[in-house]
Structure 1
Amino acid sequence: MPDSPPATRTYSYLGPTGTFTEAALAQVPEAAGQVWKSVNNVGEAFDDVTSGRSVAAMIAIENSVEGGVSATQDALASIPNLRIVGEYLVRVQFALVARPGIELKDVNVVNAHPVAYAQCRGWLEANLPAHGHIPSTSNVASALALFENDLADAAIAPPRIVDHHELNVLAENIGDNQNAVTRFVLVSRTNRLPEPTGADKTSIIAELPADRSGALLELLEQFSTRGVNLSLLQSRPIGDALGRYRFIIDADGHILDERVADALLGVRRFSPRVIFLGSYPRADRAQVEYVDRYDDGVFIEARDWLRSLVSGEPGA
Protein backbone atom coordinates (compact mmCIF):
# COMPACT_ATOMS: atom_id res chain seq x y z
CA MET A 1 0.00 0.00 0.00
CA PRO A 2 1.28 3.50 -0.74
CA ASP A 3 2.35 5.63 2.20
CA SER A 4 -0.40 7.94 3.44
CA PRO A 5 0.36 11.65 3.20
CA PRO A 6 1.49 13.31 6.42
CA ALA A 7 -1.31 14.83 8.46
CA THR A 8 -1.64 18.58 8.21
CA ARG A 9 -1.30 20.76 11.30
CA THR A 10 -3.40 23.79 12.17
CA TYR A 11 -1.99 27.09 13.44
CA SER A 12 -4.23 29.81 14.85
CA TYR A 13 -3.57 33.51 14.42
CA LEU A 14 -5.41 36.77 14.99
CA GLY A 15 -7.06 37.44 11.67
CA PRO A 16 -8.41 38.02 9.17
CA THR A 17 -5.90 37.68 6.33
CA GLY A 18 -3.47 40.56 6.10
CA THR A 19 -2.81 41.18 9.80
CA PHE A 20 0.61 41.66 11.34
CA THR A 21 -0.01 38.41 13.22
CA GLU A 22 -0.30 36.55 9.94
CA ALA A 23 2.99 38.14 8.86
CA ALA A 24 4.58 36.79 12.04
CA LEU A 25 3.21 33.29 11.40
CA ALA A 26 4.71 33.44 7.91
CA GLN A 27 8.14 33.49 9.61
CA VAL A 28 7.61 30.00 11.12
CA PRO A 29 9.16 27.37 8.82
CA GLU A 30 7.09 24.54 10.34
CA ALA A 31 3.85 26.38 9.52
CA ALA A 32 4.54 26.59 5.79
CA GLY A 33 2.02 24.55 3.82
CA GLN A 34 -0.12 23.86 6.88
CA VAL A 35 -3.60 25.06 7.81
CA TRP A 36 -3.77 28.62 9.13
CA LYS A 37 -6.91 29.35 11.13
CA SER A 38 -8.01 32.94 11.57
CA VAL A 39 -9.47 33.76 15.01
CA ASN A 40 -11.04 36.85 16.51
CA ASN A 41 -9.18 37.24 19.81
CA VAL A 42 -6.51 35.89 22.14
CA GLY A 43 -8.96 33.76 24.12
CA GLU A 44 -10.14 31.95 21.00
CA ALA A 45 -6.56 31.34 19.87
CA PHE A 46 -5.53 29.83 23.20
CA ASP A 47 -8.73 27.77 23.36
CA ASP A 48 -7.77 26.27 19.99
CA VAL A 49 -4.42 25.23 21.46
CA THR A 50 -5.70 23.84 24.76
CA SER A 51 -8.48 21.90 23.02
CA GLY A 52 -6.09 20.45 20.43
CA ARG A 53 -7.78 22.09 17.45
CA SER A 54 -4.46 23.83 16.73
CA VAL A 55 -0.91 22.78 17.43
CA ALA A 56 0.09 26.37 18.18
CA ALA A 57 -1.12 29.95 18.09
CA MET A 58 0.68 33.13 17.09
CA ILE A 59 -0.06 35.99 19.48
CA ALA A 60 1.24 39.55 19.96
CA ILE A 61 2.83 39.97 23.38
CA GLU A 62 4.79 43.23 23.28
CA ASN A 63 5.10 46.40 21.25
CA SER A 64 8.13 48.69 21.24
CA VAL A 65 5.85 51.73 21.59
CA GLU A 66 2.92 50.62 23.73
CA GLY A 67 4.68 47.97 25.84
CA GLY A 68 3.18 44.62 26.81
CA VAL A 69 -0.12 43.35 25.44
CA SER A 70 -2.15 42.89 28.61
CA ALA A 71 -4.72 40.49 27.10
CA THR A 72 -1.95 38.05 26.15
CA GLN A 73 -0.10 38.40 29.44
CA ASP A 74 -3.25 37.85 31.50
CA ALA A 75 -4.25 34.83 29.43
CA LEU A 76 -0.84 33.23 29.87
CA ALA A 77 -1.19 33.72 33.63
CA SER A 78 -4.62 32.11 33.82
CA ILE A 79 -4.53 29.27 31.26
CA PRO A 80 -2.36 26.33 32.41
CA ASN A 81 0.03 24.19 30.37
CA LEU A 82 0.92 26.74 27.70
CA ARG A 83 4.50 27.19 26.51
CA ILE A 84 6.17 29.80 24.35
CA VAL A 85 8.24 27.97 21.74
CA GLY A 86 9.43 30.90 19.63
CA GLU A 87 9.34 34.66 19.18
CA TYR A 88 9.11 36.72 16.00
CA LEU A 89 9.44 40.43 15.26
CA VAL A 90 7.34 42.36 12.75
CA ARG A 91 7.99 45.95 11.80
CA VAL A 92 4.76 47.89 12.22
CA GLN A 93 3.68 50.36 9.55
CA PHE A 94 0.23 51.84 9.10
CA ALA A 95 -1.74 53.42 6.28
CA LEU A 96 -4.98 55.38 6.30
CA VAL A 97 -7.32 53.67 3.84
CA ALA A 98 -10.84 54.36 2.59
CA ARG A 99 -13.46 53.19 0.13
CA PRO A 100 -13.00 54.39 -3.45
CA GLY A 101 -14.24 57.94 -3.85
CA ILE A 102 -13.35 59.07 -0.33
CA GLU A 103 -10.60 61.68 -0.02
CA LEU A 104 -8.66 62.81 3.02
CA LYS A 105 -10.73 65.99 3.31
CA ASP A 106 -13.89 63.82 3.63
CA VAL A 107 -12.68 61.91 6.70
CA ASN A 108 -14.48 62.69 9.94
CA VAL A 109 -14.49 59.29 11.70
CA VAL A 110 -11.72 56.66 11.71
CA ASN A 111 -11.93 52.93 12.45
CA ALA A 112 -8.85 51.64 14.26
CA HIS A 113 -7.65 49.00 16.68
CA PRO A 114 -6.90 50.81 19.97
CA VAL A 115 -3.17 49.96 19.85
CA ALA A 116 -2.85 51.15 16.25
CA TYR A 117 -4.82 54.28 17.07
CA ALA A 118 -2.45 55.12 19.92
CA GLN A 119 0.55 54.67 17.63
CA CYS A 120 -0.90 57.04 15.03
CA ARG A 121 -2.41 59.63 17.37
CA GLY A 122 0.13 62.34 16.55
CA TRP A 123 -0.45 62.10 12.80
CA LEU A 124 -4.22 62.04 13.26
CA GLU A 125 -4.26 65.09 15.50
CA ALA A 126 -2.05 67.00 13.06
CA ASN A 127 -3.96 66.05 9.91
CA LEU A 128 -7.48 65.30 11.15
CA PRO A 129 -7.78 67.36 14.34
CA ALA A 130 -11.59 67.03 14.60
CA HIS A 131 -11.83 63.29 13.83
CA GLY A 132 -13.74 60.70 15.83
CA HIS A 133 -12.56 57.15 16.60
CA ILE A 134 -14.41 53.81 16.47
CA PRO A 135 -12.41 50.92 18.05
CA SER A 136 -11.99 47.70 16.04
CA THR A 137 -10.99 44.18 17.05
CA SER A 138 -8.02 44.06 14.66
CA ASN A 139 -6.18 46.22 12.16
CA VAL A 140 -7.73 44.40 9.22
CA ALA A 141 -11.20 44.35 10.77
CA SER A 142 -11.06 48.14 10.98
CA ALA A 143 -10.72 48.30 7.19
CA LEU A 144 -13.32 45.61 6.45
CA ALA A 145 -15.85 47.48 8.58
CA LEU A 146 -15.81 50.23 5.95
CA PHE A 147 -17.68 47.83 3.63
CA GLU A 148 -20.17 46.81 6.33
CA ASN A 149 -21.49 50.23 7.30
CA ASP A 150 -20.87 53.95 6.82
CA LEU A 151 -20.17 54.81 10.45
CA ALA A 152 -16.54 55.58 9.60
CA ASP A 153 -14.99 57.24 6.58
CA ALA A 154 -11.51 55.72 6.81
CA ALA A 155 -9.49 53.13 8.72
CA ILE A 156 -5.98 52.58 10.03
CA ALA A 157 -4.72 49.32 8.56
CA PRO A 158 -1.57 47.47 7.41
CA PRO A 159 -0.34 48.80 4.04
CA ARG A 160 -0.81 45.41 2.33
CA ILE A 161 -4.56 45.52 2.96
CA VAL A 162 -4.96 46.99 -0.52
CA ASP A 163 -3.59 43.72 -1.97
CA HIS A 164 -6.65 41.89 -0.64
CA HIS A 165 -9.46 44.45 -0.75
CA GLU A 166 -10.61 47.32 -2.97
CA LEU A 167 -9.43 50.22 -0.85
CA ASN A 168 -7.58 53.44 -1.57
CA VAL A 169 -4.60 54.61 0.44
CA LEU A 170 -5.17 58.17 1.66
CA ALA A 171 -1.85 58.39 3.52
CA GLU A 172 1.14 56.10 4.04
CA ASN A 173 3.47 55.63 7.03
CA ILE A 174 1.20 57.46 9.46
CA GLY A 175 2.71 55.86 12.57
CA ASP A 176 4.30 58.34 14.94
CA ASN A 177 7.31 56.06 15.44
CA GLN A 178 8.82 54.77 12.22
CA ASN A 179 10.90 52.23 14.16
CA ALA A 180 7.92 50.56 15.84
CA VAL A 181 8.17 46.78 16.15
CA THR A 182 5.72 44.25 17.54
CA ARG A 183 6.96 41.08 19.20
CA PHE A 184 4.91 37.95 18.64
CA VAL A 185 5.17 34.57 20.37
CA LEU A 186 4.22 31.12 19.15
CA VAL A 187 2.41 29.30 21.95
CA SER A 188 1.77 25.56 22.17
CA ARG A 189 1.13 22.79 24.70
CA THR A 190 4.47 21.04 24.25
CA ASN A 191 6.73 20.39 27.24
CA ARG A 192 9.78 19.83 25.05
CA LEU A 193 12.50 22.41 25.56
CA PRO A 194 14.38 23.71 22.52
CA GLU A 195 18.10 23.18 22.81
CA PRO A 196 20.14 26.17 24.06
CA THR A 197 21.59 28.28 21.27
CA GLY A 198 23.47 30.92 23.26
CA ALA A 199 20.92 33.46 22.01
CA ASP A 200 17.92 32.51 24.10
CA LYS A 201 15.23 34.02 26.27
CA THR A 202 13.35 32.56 29.24
CA SER A 203 9.88 33.84 30.17
CA ILE A 204 8.15 33.41 33.52
CA ILE A 205 5.32 34.95 35.52
CA ALA A 206 5.94 35.40 39.25
CA GLU A 207 3.82 36.77 42.07
CA LEU A 208 5.13 38.72 45.06
CA PRO A 209 4.59 37.02 48.42
CA ALA A 210 3.23 40.20 50.03
CA ASP A 211 2.62 43.90 49.46
CA ARG A 212 5.54 45.18 51.52
CA SER A 213 8.62 47.32 51.19
CA GLY A 214 11.47 45.57 49.41
CA ALA A 215 9.45 42.64 48.01
CA LEU A 216 10.07 43.58 44.37
CA LEU A 217 13.76 44.20 45.08
CA GLU A 218 14.06 40.69 46.55
CA LEU A 219 12.50 39.26 43.40
CA LEU A 220 14.90 41.15 41.14
CA GLU A 221 17.90 40.17 43.26
CA GLN A 222 17.30 36.53 42.33
CA PHE A 223 18.44 37.48 38.83
CA SER A 224 21.00 40.23 39.51
CA THR A 225 23.03 38.11 41.93
CA ARG A 226 23.35 35.42 39.22
CA GLY A 227 24.27 37.87 36.45
CA VAL A 228 21.01 37.37 34.53
CA ASN A 229 19.77 40.39 32.59
CA LEU A 230 16.04 41.06 32.29
CA SER A 231 14.75 42.29 28.93
CA LEU A 232 11.14 42.64 30.14
CA LEU A 233 9.64 43.37 33.55
CA GLN A 234 5.98 44.31 33.60
CA SER A 235 3.41 44.25 36.37
CA ARG A 236 -0.19 43.11 36.03
CA PRO A 237 -2.81 43.13 38.80
CA ILE A 238 -3.70 39.67 40.10
CA GLY A 239 -7.23 40.89 40.62
CA ASP A 240 -8.05 39.45 44.03
CA ALA A 241 -7.14 42.56 46.05
CA LEU A 242 -5.60 46.01 45.68
CA GLY A 243 -1.81 45.99 45.82
CA ARG A 244 -1.50 42.40 44.60
CA TYR A 245 0.58 42.08 41.44
CA ARG A 246 2.18 39.46 39.28
CA PHE A 247 5.23 40.21 37.15
CA ILE A 248 5.85 39.13 33.58
CA ILE A 249 9.60 38.57 33.23
CA ASP A 250 11.82 37.86 30.25
CA ALA A 251 15.32 36.81 31.28
CA ASP A 252 18.28 36.58 28.91
CA GLY A 253 19.39 32.97 28.65
CA HIS A 254 18.04 29.42 28.65
CA ILE A 255 16.75 27.39 31.59
CA LEU A 256 19.56 24.93 30.93
CA ASP A 257 22.11 27.71 31.48
CA GLU A 258 23.36 27.27 35.06
CA ARG A 259 22.94 30.94 35.99
CA VAL A 260 19.34 31.03 34.72
CA ALA A 261 18.45 27.74 36.41
CA ASP A 262 19.89 28.96 39.71
CA ALA A 263 17.95 32.24 39.41
CA LEU A 264 14.71 30.35 38.78
CA LEU A 265 15.34 28.21 41.86
CA GLY A 266 15.71 31.42 43.85
CA VAL A 267 12.46 32.80 42.41
CA ARG A 268 10.66 29.54 43.21
CA ARG A 269 11.80 29.69 46.84
CA PHE A 270 10.70 33.33 47.09
CA SER A 271 7.46 33.52 45.13
CA PRO A 272 4.19 31.80 46.12
CA ARG A 273 3.42 31.16 42.44
CA VAL A 274 5.76 30.89 39.49
CA ILE A 275 4.62 30.04 35.96
CA PHE A 276 7.31 28.88 33.56
CA LEU A 277 6.36 30.02 30.06
CA GLY A 278 9.34 28.63 28.19
CA SER A 279 12.91 29.00 26.99
CA TYR A 280 13.28 29.70 23.28
CA PRO A 281 15.62 31.33 20.73
CA ARG A 282 15.60 35.13 20.59
CA ALA A 283 14.08 36.58 17.44
CA ASP A 284 17.11 38.79 16.83
CA ARG A 285 19.52 35.86 17.41
CA ALA A 286 21.73 38.18 19.49
CA GLN A 287 24.14 36.20 21.66
CA VAL A 288 23.54 36.67 25.39
CA GLU A 289 26.43 38.43 27.09
CA TYR A 290 27.48 37.88 30.71
CA VAL A 291 30.63 38.17 32.78
CA ASP A 292 32.89 35.14 33.26
CA ARG A 293 32.09 34.66 36.95
CA TYR A 294 28.59 33.57 35.93
CA ASP A 295 29.77 30.91 33.49
CA ASP A 296 28.22 27.43 33.77
CA GLY A 297 31.50 25.98 35.01
CA VAL A 298 31.56 28.30 38.02
CA PHE A 299 28.15 27.09 39.23
CA ILE A 300 29.05 23.45 38.60
CA GLU A 301 32.34 23.77 40.50
CA ALA A 302 30.57 25.41 43.45
CA ARG A 303 28.06 22.55 43.65
CA ASP A 304 30.84 19.98 43.43
CA TRP A 305 32.69 21.77 46.24
CA LEU A 306 29.61 21.72 48.48
CA ARG A 307 28.97 18.07 47.67
CA SER A 308 32.53 17.20 48.67
CA LEU A 309 32.11 19.00 51.99
CA VAL A 310 28.92 17.11 52.75
CA SER A 311 30.42 13.76 51.78
CA GLY A 312 33.60 14.39 53.76
CA GLU A 313 35.98 13.95 50.86
CA PRO A 314 39.65 14.47 51.80
CA GLY A 315 40.97 17.93 51.04
CA ALA A 316 37.54 19.46 50.66
Structure 2
Amino acid sequence: MSDKKIITVFCATGAQGGAVARALSKDPDLHVRAVTRDVNTQKADKLKSLGVELVQCNTSNPASVRDALSGADGCFIVTHTDFGKQNSFEMEVHEGRQIADACKAMRVGSVVFSTQRSSRVLGLQTRHMDAKAEIETYMHDLDLPLTCVMVPCYYEQFMGLFKPEKIDNNKYILEIPMGTTPMHLIALDDMGVVVRQIFNNWQTFIDKTIGICGDVLTIRDVAAILTQVLRPKTFADKPLTVNDYRNKKDFPGVSDWANLFTFRMRVDQIFNIHHTKMIHPQMKSFEEWARENADTLHNVL
Protein backbone atom coordinates (compact mmCIF):
# COMPACT_ATOMS: atom_id res chain seq x y z
CA MET A 1 0.00 0.00 0.00
CA SER A 2 2.90 2.38 0.73
CA ASP A 3 3.60 2.82 -2.98
CA LYS A 4 -0.03 3.35 -3.89
CA LYS A 5 -1.77 6.70 -4.10
CA ILE A 6 -4.56 7.01 -1.56
CA ILE A 7 -7.86 8.34 -2.92
CA THR A 8 -10.62 9.14 -0.44
CA VAL A 9 -14.15 8.79 -1.84
CA PHE A 10 -16.99 10.50 0.00
CA CYS A 11 -20.56 9.13 -0.07
CA ALA A 12 -18.99 5.87 -1.19
CA THR A 13 -22.16 3.81 -0.70
CA GLY A 14 -24.23 6.25 -2.75
CA ALA A 15 -24.79 6.19 -6.51
CA GLN A 16 -21.91 8.37 -7.70
CA GLY A 17 -19.51 7.65 -4.85
CA GLY A 18 -20.06 3.93 -5.23
CA ALA A 19 -19.40 4.06 -8.97
CA VAL A 20 -16.17 5.98 -8.40
CA ALA A 21 -15.00 3.65 -5.62
CA ARG A 22 -15.62 0.59 -7.81
CA ALA A 23 -13.78 2.10 -10.78
CA LEU A 24 -10.79 3.19 -8.69
CA SER A 25 -10.58 -0.21 -7.03
CA LYS A 26 -9.70 -1.74 -10.43
CA ASP A 27 -6.50 0.31 -10.61
CA PRO A 28 -3.65 -1.59 -8.91
CA ASP A 29 -1.75 1.64 -8.33
CA LEU A 30 -4.51 3.16 -6.19
CA HIS A 31 -5.64 2.54 -2.63
CA VAL A 32 -9.30 3.45 -2.26
CA ARG A 33 -10.59 4.79 1.04
CA ALA A 34 -14.40 4.67 1.01
CA VAL A 35 -16.09 7.12 3.37
CA THR A 36 -19.59 6.33 4.64
CA ARG A 37 -21.72 7.03 7.69
CA ASP A 38 -22.30 3.33 8.28
CA VAL A 39 -19.71 0.67 7.45
CA ASN A 40 -22.09 -2.17 8.36
CA THR A 41 -24.31 -2.20 5.28
CA GLN A 42 -24.55 -4.52 2.28
CA LYS A 43 -23.22 -1.79 -0.01
CA ALA A 44 -20.25 -1.27 2.30
CA ASP A 45 -19.61 -5.02 2.40
CA LYS A 46 -19.54 -5.13 -1.41
CA LEU A 47 -16.91 -2.41 -1.49
CA LYS A 48 -14.87 -4.20 1.16
CA SER A 49 -14.93 -7.35 -0.99
CA LEU A 50 -13.21 -5.31 -3.73
CA GLY A 51 -10.31 -4.51 -1.42
CA VAL A 52 -11.55 -1.04 -0.57
CA GLU A 53 -10.75 0.44 2.85
CA LEU A 54 -13.94 1.45 4.69
CA VAL A 55 -13.93 4.51 6.92
CA GLN A 56 -16.86 5.61 9.05
CA CYS A 57 -17.16 9.38 8.98
CA ASN A 58 -19.57 12.03 10.18
CA THR A 59 -19.18 14.78 7.58
CA SER A 60 -20.64 17.35 9.98
CA ASN A 61 -17.68 16.74 12.32
CA PRO A 62 -14.50 18.51 11.08
CA ALA A 63 -12.16 16.18 12.97
CA SER A 64 -13.86 13.12 11.49
CA VAL A 65 -13.51 14.53 7.96
CA ARG A 66 -9.83 15.37 8.51
CA ASP A 67 -9.21 11.82 9.73
CA ALA A 68 -10.82 10.45 6.55
CA LEU A 69 -8.40 12.58 4.51
CA SER A 70 -5.28 11.81 6.52
CA GLY A 71 -2.49 10.92 4.10
CA ALA A 72 -4.78 11.10 1.08
CA ASP A 73 -3.27 12.09 -2.25
CA GLY A 74 -6.67 12.86 -3.74
CA CYS A 75 -10.36 12.73 -3.03
CA PHE A 76 -13.67 12.52 -4.83
CA ILE A 77 -16.47 14.58 -3.33
CA VAL A 78 -20.19 14.35 -3.97
CA THR A 79 -22.53 15.88 -1.42
CA HIS A 80 -25.90 14.49 -0.33
CA THR A 81 -29.22 16.27 -0.76
CA ASP A 82 -31.81 15.31 1.86
CA PHE A 83 -34.97 16.44 0.09
CA GLY A 84 -37.05 15.50 3.12
CA LYS A 85 -35.50 18.26 5.23
CA GLN A 86 -36.67 21.87 4.97
CA ASN A 87 -33.10 23.09 5.40
CA SER A 88 -31.56 20.58 2.98
CA PHE A 89 -29.83 23.33 1.00
CA GLU A 90 -28.10 24.73 4.07
CA MET A 91 -27.20 21.23 5.28
CA GLU A 92 -25.62 20.27 1.97
CA VAL A 93 -23.66 23.51 1.66
CA HIS A 94 -22.39 23.08 5.22
CA GLU A 95 -21.28 19.52 4.45
CA GLY A 96 -19.49 20.61 1.29
CA ARG A 97 -17.69 23.44 3.04
CA GLN A 98 -16.58 21.16 5.87
CA ILE A 99 -15.04 18.73 3.38
CA ALA A 100 -13.45 21.55 1.39
CA ASP A 101 -11.93 23.06 4.53
CA ALA A 102 -10.54 19.65 5.50
CA CYS A 103 -9.01 19.20 2.01
CA LYS A 104 -7.28 22.53 2.43
CA ALA A 105 -6.08 21.73 5.95
CA MET A 106 -4.81 18.27 4.99
CA ARG A 107 -3.20 19.55 1.77
CA VAL A 108 -4.94 17.07 -0.50
CA GLY A 109 -3.20 17.25 -3.87
CA SER A 110 -6.13 16.52 -6.21
CA VAL A 111 -9.81 17.14 -5.57
CA VAL A 112 -12.59 16.03 -7.93
CA PHE A 113 -16.00 17.49 -7.13
CA SER A 114 -19.34 16.45 -8.62
CA THR A 115 -20.93 19.80 -9.32
CA GLN A 116 -24.01 21.33 -10.98
CA ARG A 117 -24.95 24.72 -12.35
CA SER A 118 -27.17 26.96 -10.24
CA SER A 119 -30.77 27.26 -11.40
CA ARG A 120 -31.04 30.66 -9.69
CA VAL A 121 -30.14 32.37 -12.98
CA LEU A 122 -33.73 31.56 -14.00
CA GLY A 123 -35.17 32.48 -10.61
CA LEU A 124 -35.69 28.81 -9.79
CA GLN A 125 -34.98 26.83 -6.63
CA THR A 126 -33.36 23.48 -7.36
CA ARG A 127 -31.72 22.58 -4.09
CA HIS A 128 -29.47 19.74 -5.24
CA MET A 129 -28.13 21.87 -8.11
CA ASP A 130 -27.90 25.19 -6.28
CA ALA A 131 -26.09 23.74 -3.26
CA LYS A 132 -23.42 22.10 -5.39
CA ALA A 133 -22.90 25.30 -7.38
CA GLU A 134 -22.37 27.22 -4.13
CA ILE A 135 -19.96 24.59 -2.80
CA GLU A 136 -17.97 24.77 -6.03
CA THR A 137 -17.62 28.54 -5.64
CA TYR A 138 -16.37 28.03 -2.09
CA MET A 139 -13.81 25.49 -3.27
CA HIS A 140 -12.50 27.91 -5.88
CA ASP A 141 -12.27 30.63 -3.23
CA LEU A 142 -10.12 28.25 -1.16
CA ASP A 143 -7.90 27.75 -4.22
CA LEU A 144 -8.10 23.97 -3.96
CA PRO A 145 -6.39 21.87 -6.68
CA LEU A 146 -9.76 21.21 -8.25
CA THR A 147 -11.43 19.50 -11.17
CA CYS A 148 -15.21 19.66 -11.40
CA VAL A 149 -17.30 16.96 -13.06
CA MET A 150 -20.83 17.85 -14.08
CA VAL A 151 -22.89 14.66 -14.14
CA PRO A 152 -26.21 14.37 -16.02
CA CYS A 153 -29.05 12.01 -15.16
CA TYR A 154 -28.09 8.34 -14.98
CA TYR A 155 -29.37 5.47 -17.12
CA GLU A 156 -30.01 3.71 -13.80
CA GLN A 157 -32.65 6.26 -12.87
CA PHE A 158 -34.98 4.53 -15.33
CA MET A 159 -35.08 1.78 -12.71
CA GLY A 160 -35.80 4.29 -9.95
CA LEU A 161 -36.87 7.91 -10.10
CA PHE A 162 -37.74 7.73 -13.82
CA LYS A 163 -39.16 4.20 -13.67
CA PRO A 164 -41.85 3.73 -16.34
CA GLU A 165 -45.42 3.40 -15.08
CA LYS A 166 -47.32 0.23 -15.95
CA ILE A 167 -50.75 1.05 -17.39
CA ASP A 168 -51.75 -2.33 -18.79
CA ASN A 169 -50.34 -5.78 -19.39
CA ASN A 170 -46.86 -5.16 -20.87
CA LYS A 171 -47.70 -1.51 -21.59
CA TYR A 172 -45.75 1.27 -19.92
CA ILE A 173 -45.53 5.05 -20.11
CA LEU A 174 -42.67 7.43 -19.36
CA GLU A 175 -43.75 10.67 -17.68
CA ILE A 176 -40.76 12.99 -17.81
CA PRO A 177 -41.53 16.62 -18.71
CA MET A 178 -38.76 17.26 -21.23
CA GLY A 179 -40.98 17.53 -24.33
CA THR A 180 -38.84 17.21 -27.43
CA THR A 181 -35.70 18.47 -25.67
CA PRO A 182 -33.06 15.74 -25.56
CA MET A 183 -31.81 14.53 -22.19
CA HIS A 184 -28.12 14.05 -21.51
CA LEU A 185 -27.52 10.71 -19.80
CA ILE A 186 -24.71 8.43 -18.65
CA ALA A 187 -24.16 5.04 -16.99
CA LEU A 188 -22.91 5.31 -13.42
CA ASP A 189 -20.08 2.85 -14.06
CA ASP A 190 -18.88 4.99 -16.98
CA MET A 191 -18.99 8.07 -14.79
CA GLY A 192 -16.70 6.21 -12.36
CA VAL A 193 -14.23 5.37 -15.13
CA VAL A 194 -14.11 9.03 -16.22
CA VAL A 195 -13.22 10.09 -12.68
CA ARG A 196 -10.49 7.42 -12.56
CA GLN A 197 -9.06 8.79 -15.79
CA ILE A 198 -9.06 12.28 -14.33
CA PHE A 199 -7.06 11.17 -11.29
CA ASN A 200 -4.62 9.26 -13.50
CA ASN A 201 -4.10 12.23 -15.83
CA TRP A 202 -4.30 14.99 -13.26
CA GLN A 203 -2.24 17.67 -14.99
CA THR A 204 -4.48 17.42 -18.07
CA PHE A 205 -7.68 18.05 -16.13
CA ILE A 206 -6.78 20.29 -13.19
CA ASP A 207 -8.74 23.57 -13.04
CA LYS A 208 -11.27 22.31 -15.58
CA THR A 209 -15.01 21.68 -15.43
CA ILE A 210 -16.01 18.66 -17.50
CA GLY A 211 -19.63 18.05 -18.48
CA ILE A 212 -19.75 14.31 -19.05
CA CYS A 213 -22.31 12.44 -21.14
CA GLY A 214 -22.85 8.95 -22.56
CA ASP A 215 -25.91 9.54 -24.73
CA VAL A 216 -28.32 12.26 -25.80
CA LEU A 217 -31.92 11.13 -26.25
CA THR A 218 -35.45 12.45 -26.19
CA ILE A 219 -37.91 10.63 -23.95
CA ARG A 220 -39.50 9.26 -27.11
CA ASP A 221 -36.08 7.86 -28.09
CA VAL A 222 -35.74 6.24 -24.67
CA ALA A 223 -39.18 4.68 -25.00
CA ALA A 224 -38.33 3.30 -28.44
CA ILE A 225 -35.08 1.73 -27.19
CA LEU A 226 -36.77 0.17 -24.16
CA THR A 227 -39.49 -1.25 -26.44
CA GLN A 228 -36.88 -2.74 -28.77
CA VAL A 229 -34.83 -4.25 -25.95
CA LEU A 230 -37.57 -5.40 -23.56
CA ARG A 231 -40.25 -6.92 -25.83
CA PRO A 232 -43.00 -7.96 -25.35
CA LYS A 233 -43.12 -4.91 -23.08
CA THR A 234 -43.86 -1.67 -24.93
CA PHE A 235 -43.09 1.87 -23.83
CA ALA A 236 -44.46 5.26 -24.83
CA ASP A 237 -43.64 8.85 -23.99
CA LYS A 238 -46.64 10.49 -22.31
CA PRO A 239 -46.12 14.23 -22.74
CA LEU A 240 -46.84 16.38 -19.72
CA THR A 241 -45.90 19.87 -18.61
CA VAL A 242 -43.54 20.64 -15.78
CA ASN A 243 -46.48 21.87 -13.71
CA ASP A 244 -48.38 18.65 -14.42
CA TYR A 245 -45.33 16.71 -13.23
CA ARG A 246 -45.06 18.85 -10.09
CA ASN A 247 -48.75 18.37 -9.25
CA LYS A 248 -49.07 14.69 -10.19
CA LYS A 249 -45.95 13.21 -8.63
CA ASP A 250 -45.66 12.82 -4.88
CA PHE A 251 -42.16 12.36 -3.53
CA PRO A 252 -39.70 14.52 -1.55
CA GLY A 253 -37.95 16.92 -3.92
CA VAL A 254 -40.55 16.81 -6.70
CA SER A 255 -40.44 20.61 -7.08
CA ASP A 256 -36.65 20.53 -7.27
CA TRP A 257 -36.78 17.93 -10.04
CA ALA A 258 -39.48 19.85 -11.87
CA ASN A 259 -37.24 22.91 -11.77
CA LEU A 260 -34.29 20.83 -12.99
CA PHE A 261 -36.28 19.82 -16.06
CA THR A 262 -37.21 23.48 -16.67
CA PHE A 263 -33.56 24.49 -16.38
CA ARG A 264 -32.37 21.74 -18.70
CA MET A 265 -34.93 22.74 -21.34
CA ARG A 266 -34.31 26.48 -21.15
CA VAL A 267 -30.53 26.75 -20.66
CA ASP A 268 -27.86 25.39 -23.00
CA GLN A 269 -26.07 22.53 -21.26
CA ILE A 270 -22.31 21.89 -21.19
CA PHE A 271 -22.54 18.08 -21.22
CA ASN A 272 -20.38 16.89 -24.09
CA ILE A 273 -20.52 13.32 -25.40
CA HIS A 274 -17.56 13.83 -27.78
CA HIS A 275 -15.21 15.03 -25.05
CA THR A 276 -16.37 12.26 -22.72
CA LYS A 277 -15.61 9.60 -25.32
CA MET A 278 -12.11 11.02 -25.68
CA ILE A 279 -11.62 10.38 -21.96
CA HIS A 280 -13.42 7.01 -21.95
CA PRO A 281 -13.72 5.52 -25.46
CA GLN A 282 -15.56 2.38 -24.24
CA MET A 283 -18.42 4.39 -22.76
CA LYS A 284 -21.81 2.74 -23.30
CA SER A 285 -24.79 4.19 -25.13
CA PHE A 286 -28.19 3.90 -23.47
CA GLU A 287 -29.11 1.04 -25.79
CA GLU A 288 -25.92 -0.87 -24.98
CA TRP A 289 -26.55 -0.38 -21.26
CA ALA A 290 -30.21 -1.46 -21.60
CA ARG A 291 -29.22 -4.64 -23.45
CA GLU A 292 -26.61 -5.49 -20.81
CA ASN A 293 -29.15 -4.89 -18.05
CA ALA A 294 -32.24 -6.32 -19.77
CA ASP A 295 -32.85 -9.01 -17.15
CA THR A 296 -32.63 -6.50 -14.30
CA LEU A 297 -34.93 -4.08 -16.13
CA HIS A 298 -37.50 -6.84 -16.70
CA ASN A 299 -37.40 -7.74 -13.00
CA VAL A 300 -37.69 -4.13 -11.84
CA LEU A 301 -40.62 -3.42 -14.14
* TM-score normalised by length of structure 1: 0.29
Task: Flag the structure with higher helix content.
Answer: 2
**Higher Cα Rg, which structure:** 1
Task: Flag the structure with higher strand content.
Answer: 1
